[in-house]
A and B are shown apart, each in its own frame.
Chain A
Amino acid sequence: MHDLVALTALGGTTPRVDTVGPVTCSEVPDVALASVTARLGHEAATQDELARLIGTATPTAQRFAGDPVTAFWSGPDQWMIEAPIATHEDLAAHVKTAVGTVASVTEQTDAWARFDLRGDGVNAVLELLCQLDLRQFQSGHVARGAVHHIGCFILCRSADHVSLYGPRSSAGSLHHAVLAAMRSAH
Chain B
Amino acid sequence: MTQVNRLTGGQIDRDTTLKFYFDGRSFTAHPGDTLASALLANNVRLIGRSFKYHRPRGLLTAGSEEPNGMVELRAGARKEPNTRATTIEMYDGLIANSQNRWPSLRFDALAVNDLFSNFLSAGFYYKTFMWPAAFWEKLYEPIIRRAAGLGSLSMQADPDEYDKGFRHCDLLIIGAGPAGLMAALTAGRAGADVILADEDFTLGGRLNSETFSVGDHSAPDWTAQTVAELLAMPNVRLMPRTTVIGAFDHGIYGAVERTGDHLPSLPAGKPRQILWRIYTQKALLCAGATERPIAFENNDRPGIMTASALRTYANRFAVTASPRVAIFTSNDDGHRTADDLHAKGVKIAAVVDVREDAPLSYDYEVLKGAQVINTRGRLGLSFVEVALPDGSTRTLDCGALGVSGGWNPNVHLTCHQRGRPVWNEALAAFVPGENLPVGMSVAGSANGVMSTHGALRSGAEAAAAALDLTTQPDLPEAEDAPMALKPFWYVQGCKRAWVDQQNDVTVKDVKLSYQEGFRSVEHLKRYTTLGMATDQGKTSNITGLAIMAEVAGKSIPETGTTIFRPPYTPVPIGAFAGRMTGKDFHPTRLTPSHHWAKERGAVFVEAGNWLRAQWFPLPGETHWRDSVDREVRQTRASVGVCDCTTLGKIDVQGTDAAEFLNRVYANGFAKLAVGKTRYGLMLREDGMVMDDGTAARLAEDHFVVTTTTANAVSVYRHMEFVRQCLFPDMDVQLISTTDGWAQYAVAGPNSRKLLQKIVDPEFDISNEAFPFMACGKITVCGGLRARLFRISFSGELAFEIAVPSRYGDALMRRLMTEGKEFDVTPYGTEALSVMRIEKGHPVGNELNGTTTALNLGLGKMVSKKKDSVGSVLSEREALTAPDVLKLVGLKPVNPEEKITAGGHLMNIDGPVDATHDQGYVTSAAYSPNLNSHIGLGLLKRGDARMGEKMRLVSPLTELNVEVEIVSAHFVDPEGERLRA
Interface residue ranges, A against B (CB under 8 Å): 1-9, 11, 20, 29, 35, 37-41, 78, 90, 104, 106-112, 127-128, 130-135, 148-150, 167-174, 176-177, 180-181, 183-184
Interface residue ranges, B against A (CB under 8 Å): 161, 163-168, 193, 268-271, 274, 277, 279, 579-580, 584, 586-592, 594-595, 609-610, 645, 651, 653-656, 701-702, 729-733, 735-742, 779-785, 803-811, 814
A169 and B737 CA atoms in complex are apart in Å by 11
Contact A107/B588 with A3-B782, A183-B268 known, Cβ cut-off 8 Å: no
Which of A132, A174, A180 is within 8 Å of B587, CB to CB? A174
Residues of A within 8 A of B741 (CB): 110
Contact A108/B737 with A7-B809, A133-B279, A184-B270 known, Cβ cut-off 8 Å: yes
Shortest A168–chain B CB gap in Å is 4
Residues of A within 8 A of B591 (CB): 169
A20 and B269 CA atoms in complex are apart in Å by 11
A145 and B784 CA atoms in complex are apart in Å by 33
The answer to whether B784 and A2 have CB atoms under 8 Å apart is yes
A3 and B781 CA atoms in complex are apart in Å by 7
The answer to whether A39 and B739 have CB atoms under 8 Å apart is no
Is chain A's interface secondary structure helix, strand, loop, or mixed overall? loop
The answer to whether B168 and A135 have CB atoms under 8 Å apart is yes
The answer to whether B168 and A133 have CB atoms under 8 Å apart is yes
Residues of B within 8 A of A5 (CB): 807, 809-810
The answer to whether A184 and B269 have CB atoms under 8 Å apart is yes
Determine the residue in chain A with the shortest Cβ distance to B805. A110
Determine the residue in chain A with the shortest Cβ distance to B609. A170
Contact A134/B168 with A2-B782, A173-B587 known, Cβ cut-off 8 Å: yes
Q: Which 4 A-B pairs have the closest CB atoms?
A: A183-B269, A111-B740, A104-B653, A110-B805
Apart from A40-B654, A135-B193, A169-B590, list 16 A-B contacts with CB within 8 A.
A4-B810, A7-B810, A11-B590, A111-B739, A127-B165, A128-B163, A128-B164, A128-B274, A133-B168, A168-B805, A169-B610, A170-B587, A171-B590, A173-B587, A180-B579, A184-B274
The answer to whether B584 and A41 have CB atoms under 8 Å apart is no
Contact A7/B166 with A39-B733, A135-B193, A149-B586 known, Cβ cut-off 8 Å: no
Determine the residue in chain A with the shortest Cβ distance to B645. A169
The answer to whether A168 and B740 have CB atoms under 8 Å apart is yes
Determine the residue in chain A with the shortest Cβ distance to B814. A4
A168 and B587 CA atoms in complex are apart in Å by 12
A-B contact pairs, 5 of them (CB 8 A): A5-B807, A40-B656, A104-B654, A128-B165, A183-B270
The answer to whether A170 and B588 have CB atoms under 8 Å apart is yes
A90 and B777 CA atoms in complex are apart in Å by 14
The answer to whether B739 and A169 have CB atoms under 8 Å apart is yes
A181 and B270 CA atoms in complex are apart in Å by 9
Determine the residue in chain A with the shortest Cβ distance to B783. A2
The answer to whether A6 and B654 have CB atoms under 8 Å apart is no
Indicate the member of B165, B277, B586, B808 with the most A CB atoms within 10 Å.
Answer: B165
Residues of A within 8 A of B735 (CB): 35, 37, 78, 104, 106, 108
Residues of B within 8 A of A6 (CB): 806-807, 810
Shortest A162–chain B CB gap in Å is 15
Residues of B within 8 A of A132 (CB): 166
The answer to whether B739 and A4 have CB atoms under 8 Å apart is no
A16 and B280 CA atoms in complex are apart in Å by 37
The answer to whether B163 and A184 have CB atoms under 8 Å apart is yes
The answer to whether A11 and B595 have CB atoms under 8 Å apart is yes
Residues of A within 8 A of B740 (CB): 107-111, 168
The answer to whether B166 and A127 have CB atoms under 8 Å apart is yes
Residues of B within 8 A of A183 (CB): 268-270
Determine the residue in chain B with the shortest Cβ distance to A38. B733
Residues of B within 8 A of A106 (CB): 651, 653, 735, 737
Shortest A117–chain B CB gap in Å is 16
The answer to whether B783 and A110 have CB atoms under 8 Å apart is no
Determine the residue in chain A with the shortest Cβ distance to B591. A169
Contact A11/B163 with A4-B781, A40-B731 known, Cβ cut-off 8 Å: no
Residues of A within 8 A of B782 (CB): 1-3
A128 and B656 CA atoms in complex are apart in Å by 43
Determine the residue in chain B with the shortest Cβ distance to A177. B579
Determine the residue in chain A with the shortest Cβ distance to B724. A76
The answer to whether B737 and A4 have CB atoms under 8 Å apart is no
Determine the residue in chain B with the shortest Cβ distance to A183. B269
Determine the residue in chain B with the shortest Cβ distance to A8. B806
Indicate the member of B168, B193, B268 with the most A CB atoms within 10 Å.
Answer: B168
The answer to whether B737 and A111 have CB atoms under 8 Å apart is yes
A42 and B193 CA atoms in complex are apart in Å by 42
Residues of B within 8 A of A29 (CB): 806
Residues of B within 8 A of A3 (CB): 781-782
The answer to whether A39 and B655 have CB atoms under 8 Å apart is yes
Which of B594, B654, B814 is within 8 Å of A39, CB to CB? B654
Shortest A75–chain B CB gap in Å is 9
Residues of A within 8 A of B590 (CB): 11, 169, 171-172
Shortest B270–chain A CB gap in Å is 6
Residues of A within 8 A of B161 (CB): 180, 184
Residues of B within 8 A of A130 (CB): 166
The answer to whether B810 and A39 have CB atoms under 8 Å apart is no
The answer to whether A109 and B269 have CB atoms under 8 Å apart is no
Residues of B within 8 A of A40 (CB): 654-656, 729-732
Which of A2, A110, A174 is within 8 Å of B806, CB to CB? A110
Shortest A121–chain B CB gap in Å is 14
Residues of B within 8 A of A107 (CB): 737, 740, 804
Residues of A within 8 A of B163 (CB): 128, 181, 184
A150 and B701 CA atoms in complex are apart in Å by 31
Contact A131/B277 with A39-B654, A176-B584 known, Cβ cut-off 8 Å: yes
Residues of A within 8 A of B736 (CB): 111
A35 and B740 CA atoms in complex are apart in Å by 12
A38 and B733 CA atoms in complex are apart in Å by 8
Residues of A within 8 A of B810 (CB): 4-7
Residues of A within 8 A of B737 (CB): 106-108, 111
A102 and B591 CA atoms in complex are apart in Å by 34
A135 and B167 CA atoms in complex are apart in Å by 9
Residues of B within 8 A of A135 (CB): 168, 193
A5 and B735 CA atoms in complex are apart in Å by 27
The answer to whether A104 and B588 have CB atoms under 8 Å apart is no
Residues of B within 8 A of A2 (CB): 779-784
Shortest A83–chain B CB gap in Å is 15
Shortest A112–chain B CB gap in Å is 7
Shortest B168–chain A CB gap in Å is 4
